[in-house]
Structure 1
Amino acid sequence: MRAHISYFKLKFGYPYPAALFPALGFFLLALSPLSASAAGVALYLFPPTGVYTVDDTFSVEIRTDTVGTPINAAEGSLSFNPEEVRIVGFSTAGSIFHLWTTNPSEGKTPGTVEFAGGDQKSYTGNSGLIFTMRFKALRSAESSITFPTGAVLAADGTGTNILSVMRSGIYTVNPVSLAPKPENYPALQGAPEPPVISSPTHPDSEYWFAEKNPRFTWPVPEGVNGIRYLFDQKERTVPTVSSENIISEKSFRDVADGIWYFHLQLKNDLGWSSPAHYRIQVDAHRPDHFSISEVARDDPTEPNVKFIFDAKDSGSGISRFEVQIDDVGYGAWRDDGTHIFAAPNLSPGIHKLIVRAIDQAGLDLAETLGFEIKPLDTPKITDYPSELNAGDPLIIKGTTYPNSDVTLWLIPAEGDARSQTVKSDASGNFIVIAEERLKTSNTSSGFFSFQSQNLETRTYHMWAEVKDVRGARSLSTAKTPLVIRPPILLRIGSQAITFLDIFIPILGFLLFLIFAMWYVWRRFTAFRKRLRKDVGKVETSVHQAMQKLRTNIESHVNLLDGASANRPLTEEEKKIVGRMRKDLEDTEAFVEREIGVIEKEIQ
């Protein structure tokens, strides 16, 4: 041990030769100003206790509590009974030291461990991890692990060994047939009640969670002046980590998968409470493996397909499977131990199976598999009418698989398809007789119907399909046309109705036209009589007017003629008299002629 300490003094620049250390060790420790504060510097095992069964493996950490004093090196040895426990490995992951003169390892003597390490940076704290040992329990015993030697060097420039306490550990190993004995910590009278622990991140101890950063909370009663806790994977551990402050919650980060326990104690002036324990179950990883395979089928038309779900989850375990086939979800399926999932009866064709294997923490791993169900051979329709009078029975014959269900479908050009199912006989023959005769009116419900106002010939299509006793199905046969004609009397009646539909409107139009012509003629005749009467009145008035005009003109001419007896008329006066007589005669002739034309027109 002294040789290792000498190495670290020279390694980290301490000025004292290695040969002086044995003589000066106690002197330097006594004179060092750190002596008082370093009185509690310790090497200890974490956890200090544990309860296991034979063949269990468990970890023990070597830690240091510097009590506020900076350190940068430590060494020591450990001893255990190799017949009770066996070393299976070491780890320096997370260590406060990164330089090792002696890596943690088994010593030359069985049941011993040696280590010596340090770092150029100093460390101060109460739970500094030096390294981790992994043990396997060999037999039932109370197995102790102790420190025969040890040293912790202060980062004071002189390499002072300030170690004062080395805490050992005791680990109970029970036979496999016995349940582990829980550790017991009796509380003193007047000490606080065990705290009630809760976890907002892991609210139920019975469930697994994918959250790997747990947080724990608890109420702190009046008078509590000390708290210590521990977070490990043992159910009844007594906590050993003291909190510097009175806290009401504690968080941990990046917790490994598995079952963990948070242990907590509260202290008042009368002592520590009994430990409280809170379990959490962490699984932050998806299932390790998932594959789907189809159980071999003897017949590719088998509609009841089975699949093997091979899923493994090393954490919380597989909880359920969410199954979907094509676009149809079938909800959660839980394995009964056979790992075989039986799909529901499926139609022929190519299908896609989509499955999610979900662990207890809700994390999943998905897998898909395509598969095909071959169809049965379609039934053969051997006898059917290509045309049928409405009201006649529809009879269809054919052959298919023995003792199978044959479904006949019929659909009109416009309307919904209807079906009728019959069973084939032992030879595979079948006969379909329509349950209700095909009609040409929808006034009564039946196998098929037509619009009552539309009595013309209609074309339908029929097809058939078969399903055997397993539920396997065929595809549909090709659609076959079927013409349904109305009865002959209805066809003649419909033609008569069609003629009258045309004749009656034409007759009505002709009668209307005759009436219109008669009405116009009547009005025109009355108009002509009235016109004749009016023309006669006009003629009489014109004659009277012309007579007055002639009398008037004659009187003026007579005046001129009388004047000629006294004197001779001038040439101009003679012309006037002649022109007036001629104009009067022309006017009378024109009026007579025009009146004659009008009388002729209105005859």
Structure 2
Amino acid sequence: MPMAGELSPRREPRILELSGHRWGNRPRKRWTCSPPLVLSPGRFFWRSPFFFSYGAGWRAGRSVDAGCFPRVGYNITVETGMRTNSLWKLFCLGAACSFVVFVHEASAAVRLFLDPDRVAVGVGETLSVSVVLDTGGTNINLVDAELVFPPDKLEAVSVSSDGSVVKIWTDTPLYDNRAGRVSFQGGTPNPGINTRNGVVTTVAFRARAAGEAVVRISDQSRVFLNDGFGTSVPGGRAEGKYLLTAIAVPPFASPAVFSISHPDPDRWYAAREAKIRWQAEAGAEGYSYLLTNTPFGMPDDEAETVAKGVDYENLEDGQYYFHLKAIGGGGEGGTAMFGLRIDSAPPEPFEVRIFPSARTSSRQPTFYFDARDALSGIGRYEVAVSRAEEAVREEAFHEAQSPYAPPEPLELGKHEITVRASDKAGNIREVTESFEIVRPIFEIVEGQGIRFGSSQVSWRAFWAGLGILLVLLGRYVFWRITLWRRRAGMEEDRR
């Protein structure tokens, strides 16, 4: 027992554990979250007018990672001290358990799955698989997902967004038959998407070989909640198993498509006439094709031509997608897609601003310009500065950026600056502005003196003249003061 005036030793806190177990034929197993949720006494006291203290607080020692808890069973450690009563213990335990269950259920509420997830198709036939979203009653605003499929058994031929709950595609659905992947990203602005069975996108596969093909949603797929924080939750690990059976007619592969007028599908071209060609497929009796403004297109099953190419004339400016598939022998091949980008219009008119002004004494004025092109965008600027009476030569143009200043001082007189703006398709817009460089009122010529207009004074003459001017000014001031005093004295004598 402590002596008078000594402090009592502090009691060690008591540990109360709540453990979860899985029951069955197996031995009891205990799961422990690492690090565990620790609830310890806080430092909140309420002091009455009679100075009576009562401890009734708690605080969380560490945050909870819901992923460390299994579906059945939890391990929660509650640290209690001398000032914690039994009722407060129960409250802390209930709050902790409610928090864990809430986090666990929220992460499992949203899921992506495939429809159908079981079906049998013949080799060469088309299999349509939809990616379906279930938000579990919560609002989401973005889906970032990827499908993985076996490229030796399935071939993606098209991706469709018809009837999709996604309104804006940040990444247009694309497929890669070599890697066996279909990726897409899109969503809907506030209030987002809330659905139990909403189709995100539909992928059409062609069965290539007999066997079982497993299509699954990759582990990297994520769904972002519309909670103001963009909380990311897993999209699930759903998969579909499809039985592919052999048929008598072998399928066609996707034809190889190219363009002799617009060879690079990622570049913009000014030509409005497109010439598209493709390689013939052995056994093909004809080809069905379609030109659209979106990548979601599917030619019909009727052969439209037996040729190996098609030409388009007077196409409007914009982005096009050419879809082609081979038809023959009672079957059809995969759909090939080729992109076209056409921009035949020059950039919009713009102005060139001259600083400090169009009439200046600065030998190296600064020029500002900013052009706009609504479709392909500005590719580069070229600038040429010449005398006003001379024609601009092509070799005088050089690439530049705004703001631009001549690298060398310009001569006195009138000049012109020509700014040429080119868009990414090669269309050009030229703007010419006139300006004049004049002599300043005076300027200092280093090592020589001061120049006034067309005259120049040496430093020796300048300082000599300045000295004489100061002497004359002093004599004038002295004379004025003397005259003032003399008049003041005469007026005083008269009085």
RCO comparison, higher one (Cα < 8 Å, 6+) = 2
State if a TM-score over 0.5 links the two structures.
no
TM-score bin, normalised by smaller chain: 0.3 to 0.5
User: Which has the higher Rg, Structure 1 or Structure 2?
Assistant: 1
Structure having the larger proportion of residues in helix: 1
Q: What's the TM-score once normalised by structure 2's chain length? A: 0.40
